[in-house]
Chains A and B, each alone.
Chain A
Amino acid sequence: AQSVTQLGSHVSVSEGALVLLRCNYSSSVPPYLFWYVQYPNQGLQLLLKYTSAATLVKGINGFEAEFKKSETSFHLTKPSAHMSDAAEYFCAVSENTGTASKLTFGTGTRLQVTL
């Protein structure tokens, strides 16, 4: 089965600083990877997805991620953090089981943005 590992359960950055959230995947086939954001007491919002079309993927709210096969990584970045970026971020991998596709999440990284 495919899986993702998020390094760092909690990341703190200053407003205006670079945001880097790490995600590594484990898959024997080309993976389909996603980043979702969850604000307190809300559902999940898709930030971006990698489906093999391009290795650098741009998403919403200024986020982007780069797929690196050699490093089995799909790290999420944003050049300048904003207070509104404070939330829980989940990396996820999707695989087809033969009868349907399923989405499996990493353990999540809580992003704190300080003044």
Chain B
Amino acid sequence: DTEVTQTPKHLVMGMTNKKSLKCEQHMGHRAMYWYKQKAKKPPELMFVYSYEKLSINESVPSRFSPECPNSSLLNLHLHALQPEDSALYLCASSQVPGQIYGYTFGSGTRLTVV
């Protein structure tokens, strides 16, 4: 299995809703990442988990809450989002260190906040 699987592929949520994005990989990678990509822009790093511990938080608002329950699974919990949070959310994974082995990306969850 050489894939990173993200669910759901599309999500529409209201500003008062609570939802979660899920990311799963079975490649034995011990680092996992969340990126946010706005239309016609490059992906921007949000969080990095290394060996299931949060290692990097790029000053992301607290309405985004990451969780790494085990080495194969990464969640992003969403609460009280704003319309400007609408974007493609990409998950990635890598062996450690990522710069040696490269990063594998999922196909993303397209989030619309209404």
Contacts and interface: CB of A to CB of B under 8 A. Distances in A.
Interface of A: 32, 34, 36, 41-46, 49, 51, 90, 94-97, 99-108
B31 A101 contact: yes
Contacts of B104: 46
A34 B90 CA distance: 17
Which 9 A-B pairs give the minimum distances between C-beta atoms?
A94-B99, A100-B55, A32-B99, A105-B42, A101-B98, A43-B107, A44-B105, A100-B50, A99-B55
Given A101-B94, A101-B98, A106-B42, A46 B103 contact: yes
Q: Interface residues of B toward A: which range?
A: 20 to 34
Main secondary structure of the interface of A (DSSP, over half): strand
Interface in B28-43: 31, 33, 41-43
Contact of A103 (B45, B49, B55, B96): B45
Interface of B: 4, 6, 31, 33, 41-45, 48-50, 55-56, 90, 92, 94, 96-100, 102-108, 110
Contact of B31 (A32, A36, A100, A104): A100
A101 B99 contact: yes
Nearest to A32: B99
Contacts of A96: 97, 99
A103 B33 contact: yes
B33 to A, nearest CB: 7
Nearest to B6: A43
B42 A108 contact: yes
B8 to A, nearest CB: 14
A46 B45 contact: no
Given A100-B31, A100-B56, A103-B33, A45 B105 contact: yes
Nearest to A33: B99
B19 to A, nearest CB: 20
B7 to A, nearest CB: 13
